[in-house]
């Protein structure tokens, strides 16, 4: 069973106790950590492993060490510096075990914890180190400002006067152990909104689906507390309030981003660690710094600044670009046992020099610009209809959506696992160049996440199961990941690898489903 | 199509990276957002920026944006009104 054995955080307020104190007395403020990400992650990881090596390391991150990466993507830059895939390789060397960066934009924390739980439940690992970290840079400051999503004053989750996020840096580490720990990972859930790339579904339907999964797995009707995503944007907090009011009316809600800021892919793991510390020590939960008057449509009970006693289990929720949702339930009981489900590869498609190949059949899309480069299929070539909105999609999004079309149909609860090392390299480079030249292309900012192709595939193909992008993993490790998702009850998994902007480019997709039961 | 209307349509097509669309495909009276071109809120922010860069007119708030972005013709008219001395 997955236990949270040891944990640690770093925030501008200090370590775990300093951070909880600063949140409780309302003095916590978003800020930056000092220095590069790798040594910080190595230190936090070392603290929680306590001298005994983990079997696997998972890094929850959206952009990795962005100040390094933003230099790396410029002409002449060192492409082996700062990206999530680079960090994964460095962590694998440091901890002497497999390490992957696992992303679901700002829901990376709970999604990495869900994957860690699946590793342990499948018997593939006994000790999984989950790290979370993202560094800020002008790249992301300007991107969010361009989306008009930043409150220049402060972050006020669920408040009537809220006007956006404030970015902040945090990092966190948790050791999940199969046998022992002070808090149990009692449930987890993942879902995709399939509605909009940067805005949540208005009614919070995607998020509430992930919450319901986590509660069902944890065998509880209601949690004692919701540690909400609470970014402080109008759209996010509105949608969250409706999600909670619908399925968990009356459960108290806290949000900590008024004190911590939004730390992108690190925020979820940071919030989980703070919650776990409170649950393990029986301490009261810090309330919502920056909150004064309720200003959301859903009837929820938001707890203001101060300390609040709440019984376990606690539900910690996050949502990210691409409509990716992740939720974990922290408590003192094990999750529901599941009967093992064997998986089978059902069908496969691959992009070729001019088009595609699937099950012996071939088709053409368009002739790419150069040898070793894959086609960038258009809506007309893939669906037979003109769709102007395809124009904004970058190469990895186009290839995933186009290949996905070939593998239809699937259940809407299908889970997407996207393997990549190159991520959105070309889009990152174009956005950073434009920004430095004073003409940032804000439309492409939402595409500067390696997980965005999953969001596009979800929206354009109607997929609502969970999703995760995995950087630094082999094809074999990806296939095992798909099998574990089926083993945990996913009706189908789309597993893809997409490498663009490197030579040669690669794009394939496979559909896995439950294997038919053997004859008695 | 009037030349200045056409150049505004081109700005929308190239600036918002619209696929398989020519200026003639855009009905000047049809809504820019929602159905038709399928533009959404990300496009609206980008379009406001593109228009301010090229025509030096500011779309300051959501209400102005709603009016200005009602259709290609409405945007054309809005730009003309905001810059009386030059042709949009």
| Residue A312 CA, distance from chain mean position | 24
Paired with A316 in beta bridges are A227, A328
CA distances from A175 to A87, A120, A129, A316 (A): 18, 12, 5, 17
As given in the structure block, the two tokens for residue A95 are 């901890």
Is A308 in a helix, a strand, or coil? strand
Contact A269, A130 (CB under 8 A): yes
Give B85's pLDDT tier (boundaries 50, 70, 90).
Answer: low
C-beta atoms of A442 and B46 within 8 A: yes
Question: Taking a C-beta distance cutoff of 8 angstroms, is the pair A47, A173 a contact?
Answer: yes
**Residue B70 domain flag:** yes
pLDDT, tens digit, 9 for 90 and up, residues A78-99: 888 999 999 999 999 999 999 9
Q: Which of A343, A359, A382, A358 is nearest to A493 (CA)?
A: A343
The closest CB to that of B38, out of A146, A389, A441, belongs to: A389
Q: Is residue B45 part of a domain?
A: yes
- What pLDDT shows up at residue B39? 84
Is residue A190 within 8 A of residue A451, CB to CB? The reply is no
Q: The tokens 């919650």 sit on which residue?
A: A275
Going by the DSSP 8-state scheme, the letter that residue A265 receives in this structure is G
Q: Do B19 and A147 count as a contact with CB atoms less than 8 A apart? A: no
Q: Is A98 helix (H, G, I), strand (E, B) or coil?
A: coil
CB-based contact B42 A441, cutoff 8 Å = no
CATH number for the domain harbouring residue B63: 1.10.1200.10
- Contact by Cβ (8 Å): A89, A38: no
The DSSP letter of residue A503 is S
Q: Determine contact, residues A133/A40, Cβ cutoff 8 Å.
A: yes
- Give the minimum alpha-carbon distance from A171 to chain B in angstroms, rounded to a whole number: 30
- pLDDT, tens digit (0-9, with 9 covering 90-100), for B55-80: 988 887 778 888 889 999 999 999 99
Write out the two tokens for A470: 């995995």
Q: Give the closest residue to A138 by CA, choosing from A390, A448, A388.
A: A448
- Residue B88: the pLDDT is 47
Cβ atoms A388, B37 nearer than 8 A: yes
Check residue A191 and give its pLDDT. 98
Share of chain A above pLDDT 90, in %: 93
Q: What are phi and psi of A316, to 5 degrees?
A: -115, 125
Touching check for A387 and chain B: CB below 8 Å? Answer: yes
Structural domain contains residue B38: yes
Best of A201, A384, A388, A437 to disrupt the B interface (most B CBs within 10 Å) is: A388
Residue B85 to chain A, least CA–CA distance (Å): 26
Q: Is residue B87 part of a domain?
A: no
**How far from the centroid of its chain's Cα atoms is residue A222's Cα?**
24
What's the complex ipTM? 0.83
The answer to whether A190 and A468 have CB atoms below 8 angstroms apart is: yes
Indicate whether B41 belongs to any domain.
yes
A315: left (phi over 0), alpha (psi -120 to 50) or beta: beta
* Digit-coded pLDDT (tens) for A2-12: 999 999 999 99
Residue at B57 is within a domain: yes
Provide the residue range defining the domain that includes B23. Answer: 3-82
For A64, residues 6+ apart whose C-beta sits below 8 A from its C-beta are: A37, A82, A83, A84, A86, A87, A101, A134, A135
Let me know if residue B51 belongs to a domain: yes
Show which of residues 164-183 on chain A sit within 8 Å of chain B, judged by CB atoms.
none
Residue B88 in any domain: the answer is no
- Maximum C-alpha span of chain B: 34
Domains of chain A: 3-331 (3.40.47.10), 343-514 (3.40.47.10)
**Count of domains forming chain B:** 1
- Statement: residue A450 has pLDDT above 70: yes
**pLDDT the model gives residue A219:** 97
């Amino acid at each position: 069973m997955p236990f949270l054995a040891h944990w640690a955080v770093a925030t501008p307020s200090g370590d775990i106790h300093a951070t909880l104190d600063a949140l409780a007395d309302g003095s916590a403020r978003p800020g930056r950590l000092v220095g590069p990400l790798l040594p910080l992650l190595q230190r936090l990881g070392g603290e929680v492993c306590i001298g005994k090596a983990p079997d696997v390391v998972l890094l929850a991150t959206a952009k990795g060490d962005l100040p390094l990466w933003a230099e790396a993507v410029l002409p002449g830059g060192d492409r082996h510096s700062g990206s999530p895939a680079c960090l994964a390789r460095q962590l694998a060397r440091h901890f002497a075990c497999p390490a992957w960066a696992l992303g679901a934009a700002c829901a990376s924390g709970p999604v990495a914890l869900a994957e860690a739980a699946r590793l342990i439940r499948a018997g593939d690992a006994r000790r999984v180190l989950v790290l979370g970290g993202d560094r800020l840079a002008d790249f992301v400051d300007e991107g969010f400002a361009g989306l008009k999503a930043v409150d220049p004053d402060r972050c006020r989750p669920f408040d009537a006067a809220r006007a956006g996020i404030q970015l902040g840096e945090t990092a966190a580490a948790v050791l999940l152990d199969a046998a022992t720990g002070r808090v149990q990972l009692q449930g987890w859930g993942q879902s995709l909104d399939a509605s909009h790339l940067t805005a949540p579904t208005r009614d919070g339907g995607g998020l509430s689906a992930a919450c319901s999964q986590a509660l069902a797995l944890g065998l509880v009707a209601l949690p004692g507390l919701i540690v909400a995503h609470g970014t402080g944007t109008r759209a996010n907090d509105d949608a969250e309030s409706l999600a909670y009011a619908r399925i968990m009316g009356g459960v108290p809600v806290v949000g900590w981003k008024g004190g911590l800021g939004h730390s992108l892919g690190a925020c979820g793991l940071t919030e989980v660690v703070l919650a776990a510390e409170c649950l393990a020590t029986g301490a009261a939960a810090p309330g919502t710094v920056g909150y004064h008057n309720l200003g959301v449509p859903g009837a929820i009970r938001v707890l203001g600044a101060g300390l609040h006693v709440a019984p376990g289990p606690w539900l910690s929720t996050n949502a990210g670009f691409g409509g990716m949702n992740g939720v974990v339930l922290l408590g003192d009981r094990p999750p529901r046992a599941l009967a093992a489900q064997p998986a089978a590869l059902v069908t496969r498609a691959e992009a070729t020099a001019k088009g595609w190949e699937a099950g012996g059949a071939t088709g053409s899309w368009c002739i790419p610009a150069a040898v070793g480069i894959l086609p960038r299929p258009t809506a007309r070539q893939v669906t037979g209809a003109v769709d102007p909105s395809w124009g904004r999609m970058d190469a990895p999004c186009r290839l995933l959506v186009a290949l996905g079309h070939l593998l239809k149909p699937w259940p809407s609860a299908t889970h997407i696992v996207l393997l990549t090392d190159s991520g959105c390299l070309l889009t990152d480079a174009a956005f950073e160049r434009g920004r430095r030249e004073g003409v940032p292309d804000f439309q492409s900012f939402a595409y500067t996440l390696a997980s965005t192709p999953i969001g596009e595939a979800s929206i354009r193909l109607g997929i609502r199961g969970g999703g995760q992008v995995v950087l630094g993993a082999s094809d074999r490790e990806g296939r095992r990941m798909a099998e574990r998702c089926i083993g945990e009850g996913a009706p189908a998994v789309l597993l893809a690898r997409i490498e663009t902007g490197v030579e040669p480019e690669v794009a394939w997709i496979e559909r896995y489903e439950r294997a038919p039961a053997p004859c008695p | 199509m009037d030349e200045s209307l056409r150049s505004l349509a081109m700005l929308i097509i190239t600036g918002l990276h619209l696929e398989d669309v020519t200026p003639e495909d855009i009905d000047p009276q049809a809504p820019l957002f929602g159905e038709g071109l399928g533009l959404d809120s990300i496009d609206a922010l980008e379009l406001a920026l593109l228009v301010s860069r090229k025509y030096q007119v500011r779309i300051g708030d959501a209400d102005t944006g709603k009016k200005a972005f009602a259709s290609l013709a409405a945007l054309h008219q809005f730009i003309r009104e905001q810059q009386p001395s030059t042709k949009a």
